[in-house]
Structure formats: C-alpha cells, structure tokens
Amino acid sequence: MKRFIFPLLAAVCLQSAQARINVTSLPGRDSVQLTIYNSADLTLVKETRTLTLKKGRNRLEFSWAGTLIDPTSVEFRPITHADEVEILDVRFPPRVTNTLEWNIHSEFAGEVKTEIRYFTSGITWNADYLCEANANENQMTFAGNVRVTNRSGEDYPKAQIRLVVGVVRLVEKIIDLARQGQPAPPSGGPRPSISTATRARANAAMGQALAEAEERKDVAKEALGEYFLYTVGGRDTIANGWSKRLPSFNTAEVPIVSYYKYEKERYGAAVMRFYKFKNDEKSKLGKEPLPDGAVMAFRTVTQDNLYNFVGRTAVKYIPIDEEVEMQLGNDAEVRIAPKLMNWQKDAIRFDKNGNVNGWTTKATWKIELQNSKSIPVTLDIRRNFGGDWEVATEDKFEKVDAKKIKFVLQLNPGEKRTLNYTLTTRLGTNATK
C-alpha cells in the first residue's frame, strides 16, 4: 500500500525530477478530523502534525499517492508560531503527480505545530433507521444510525468524525480533481470510477479500531447555517475499505399513525401502506433534523417481541417539526375497491348547425372498503377529476386541489363499509368554468 507520507525535506535535490534523491523525516499525525458531507462525495480532512523547522528557508514535500485527495485543496497553516512562519510559495513538481512542495520561511527554529487541510473523495456517510412498531401500530421505537464508509485509499486512524447534513455546491467533482494528480484546467469530463484496486485494497488497521472503543459513542448535533453538523464522540478508526455504523439515537414510544393510501394515478390498484410520525418534541424527537436515509420497518407481533417484516423504504431529509410519511409497500389486508355503478350522459346541447357541442356526464361511484386487520387503520383515498366537475356525496371529503379530493376515515378491525359519490362533469358548451 502506498502510504500517505509527509517528508520533511532536508533535501539534497538534484535538478532532474526523474532522479530526485530525498532525505526525509516522517512526522506522524497528531490528530485527524474528518468532516464528511453526504450530499457530495466530499470530505474535509484536517490533520495536525508537529514539524521541526529551522530558521530561514524550509522546504516541505507532501505527497498522497494512491489516495483520492484533491491537489487543489491542500493547505498548510502553522498553529503555533504563526506570526513567525510564512509560506512563500507552493510548487507542484513536474513529471510527478500527487506531490507538492511548500517553500516556507521561518523566523523560529524548533517544533511548530501545523495544520494540513485538504479535500478527499471516497469517504461517504449515510444515515439509516430502524422502525420497530408495536403490535397496535400506534407507537414505535425509532433508532437512527450513521454509517461511514472509507474507500479513499487512506487510513485515518483515531479520527474525530464529523458528519454534515446539508447540500453543498461543487462546480467540479473532487474525484475528478484527485485523478488529475496536479492542479489542471477544468475538464468537465465524466467522473472516473474508483478503481477496483482502490476498492479492493484491504487493510487491517481495523484491528486497532476494534481495540479502541469502550463505550457507545454519543453523536452530538449542532446547527450550522443551512447545515447540521453531527460530531461523533471520541475517536474512531475507519480503515480504507471498511465501513462502520454507529448508533445516533434511539427513541422509544414515538407515536405513529398506520395510514393507508389509495390513489389510482399514483399507486395503481394497490393500497399503499404508510407509517406517519412527526419529528417534533411531542413525539419525543425534534431535537435535530433527520438526514435522508434507508428505513427498515418491523412490527413486534408476539409477547416475546418477535418481528414481522413490514417493509423497507427511504425517508427524505426531515426538518424539525416536519411530518414524515414512510411508504412501506402494499398491504393486501386492507381492501379499497372503487367501482363505477352508474353512468349517464344528459343535458345535450346542439350548435346552430345541429351538431352536439355540449353534454353532461353523471358518474356514480361506490368505493368498497374492508379492513381485514386486527387493528384500526386510517385510510386516505384520493380521486382525481378533470374539467368542470362537481362531487355530490354524503360522505365527508376534503378538496385537496382544483382536481383532487380525498376521503380520510378510520376503519375498525374487521370493518367493512362503502363510500358513495356522484361525479357530475359538464363538457363542451355545458362547462361553466
């Protein structure tokens, strides 16, 4: 494996780059912080190293072969003796990729704590959730996890991990910049895939990681402008090629509504099942927005809490106080079957030439509903209409928009009932709007 090396260059350099002979020291990282974004393939790495500088001119070489670091992003900053250490220039040597040299002037001789910052591609994080509904499907235990995957080509031992929820804009992809090895004009070319070699590279630093953890890490959350920052407590090692999943929160007794939707234009003839909850304090959540992620939903069905698999879905980014609907597939135990029972065409109008130019249709619909489940369910049945329409019904409904109505009602266990409505549509010259 090509290691990320940091040579302190007390260099004896020949003029030809092909024949560079270096004498290097390898100061180790003192600390590493990873700030990982989930909206783009972007991680900000901040590492600190202690260097011993001599007074006067110092040349530092920094190289990152075999990794996915963006060369245009690498920055160096002295933390101690900052007013005495100045970067004169940065140089990307010819015929060598993934290497740069800093030309530094120091007024101070001795140890200087420095920070090196850069972007890398290949480290990603995502959230996932476990929804464990109770038998009555009116409460759930909701647990969130974050999973960090490192395919950057580099190990980051004992790193502080920060995760950013939010959408950042990048005009060039970090991996494209990383592939160039050196700063280059914008290519706008297609994104190269991470090579198999990089993906496949295995590493055992995980062993060290496994020895580190002692207790469950807290994930601290803070708002940051339009972003939200999760900071995983303590330090973690995520070796190249590995993923690590950390619990973020676990909240019991979150109220949910088991909700069934029917809308032919959207879901076809199937009845779609949802769990609905709110990311607010009343629901024992609402402390932070929830990043988008996959959800596995189970329902506990026995005294000893055996599961039934309800479904899997993905949730969108959920701001605080937002209501969430988790779509969990269809459920044959709830039947919603609309049937056109009568159709009339009347109120015919003719134009001055005697041709038909206006008529009105009256369609009588019956919607059969049946709940075969042992628990009550809430139904949301939506019907879409076009033109100059009017609905007459004794059942309660709500107009969603100009072309849509919904019936929302609860069905008790085993209950059957029907909804009836008549849709009058005025066509041609009969239309009044």
Partner 1 sequence: MKVLKTFSIFAAALILTDAAQARVKLVALPARARVVVSLANLQATLVEEERIITLQKGVNKIDFSWKGVSIDPASIQIRMLNEPGKVKVLNTSYPPNEQALIWEIASPTARAERMRISYLLQGITRQVVYKATAETDESALTLRNYLRVRNHSGEDLDKAEIGIGYGAGFKRTVQHQETIELLSERIENLPIKKILTWDSKQLPWDPEYEKKTVGIPLNYVIKNDKASKLGAHTLLPGKVRIFIKTKEGVAFTGEDWGGLTPVDREMKLYIGQSREVKVVQRKTTDERVNLRRNNGNRVVMWDQNEVYKVEIQNFKTTPVTLVVREHIPGYWTMIESTHKYAKKDAFTIEYTLELPAKSTGDKKTTLTFNVRRKNVQGNEPSSY
As a 3-state breakdown, the chain gives helix, strand, coil percent values, each rounded to 5, of 10, 55, 35
Burial of 78: CB neighbours in 10 Å, binned 0-12, 13-18, 19+: buried
152: tokens are 């950057």
Q: Return the sign of the alpha-carbon dihedral for residues 191, 192, 193, 199.
A: negative
Residue ranges of the alpha helices (H) in 173-260?
Answer: 174-180, 196-200, 205-212
Q: Is 332 in the site for partner 1 (CB under 8 A)?
A: yes
Could you tell me the smallest distance in angstroms from the CB atom of residue 265 to partner 1?
14
Minimum CB distance to partner 1 smaller for 147 or for 404: 147
- For partner 1, which stretch binds (CB under 8 A), given 49-57, 170-178, 353-361, 422-430? 353-361
Among 83, 89, 215, 394, binds partner 1 (CB under 8 A): 215
Q: Which two tokens stand for residue 45?
A: 């790495």
Q: Quick one: which of 266, 287, 403, 416 contacts partner 1 (CB under 8 A)?
A: 416
Q: Are 111 and 52 in contact (CB under 8 A)?
A: yes
Nearer to partner 1 by C-beta: 227 or 359? 359
Spell out a b/e string for 99-136, using b for 16 or more CB atoms within 10 Å of the CB, else e. Answer: bbbbebebeeeeebebbbebbbbbbbbbbbbbbbbbee
Retrieve residue 283's tokens: 């629901």
CB of 36 to partner 1, least distance (A): 16
Identify the burial level of 321 via C-beta atoms within 10 angstroms of its C-beta, where 0-12 means exposed, 13-18 middle and 19 or more buried.
middle
* 117, 217, 284, 404: which one binds partner 1 (CB under 8 A): 217
Q: Report the C-alpha gap between 322 and 395 in whole angstroms.
A: 29
Say whether residue 417 binds partner 1 (CB under 8 A).
no
Footprint of partner 1 on residues 56-75 (CB under 8 A)?
Answer: none
DSSP state of 163: E
For residue 317, what are its two tokens?
A: 């980014």
Choose between 101 and 236: whose C-beta lies nearer to partner 1: 236
Q: Which residues are paired to 350 by β-bridges?
A: 356
Among 102, 298, 407, 421, binds partner 1 (CB under 8 A): 298
- Using CB under 8 A, which residues numbered 221 to 280 contact partner 1? 236, 240-247
- Binding to partner 1 (CB under 8 A): which residues in 183-202? 199-202
Stretch that binds partner 1, among 26-34, 223-231, 343-351, 419-427 (CB under 8 A): 343-351
Q: Which is nearer to partner 1, 24 or 370 (CB)?
A: 370
- Number of Cβ within a 10 Å radius of residue 398: 11
Rounded to 5°, the CA angle 220-224-228 comes to 55
* Residue 344 touches partner 1, criterion: CB under 8 A: yes
Site pattern 365..404 for partner 1 (x: CB under 8 A) = -----x-x--------------------------------
Query: Shortest approach of partner 1 to residue 235 CB, angstroms?
Result: 13
Number of other CB atoms surrounding residue 334 within 10 Å: 20
What would the x/- binding string for partner 1 be over residues 119 to 158, using CB under 8 A? ---------x-x--------------x-x-x---------
Which residues contribute to the site for partner 1 (CB under 8 A)? 128, 130, 145, 147, 149, 199-204, 206-207, 209-210, 213-217, 236, 240-247, 294, 296, 298, 301, 304-312, 329, 332-333, 335, 339-346, 348, 350, 352-356, 359, 363-364, 370, 372, 414, 416
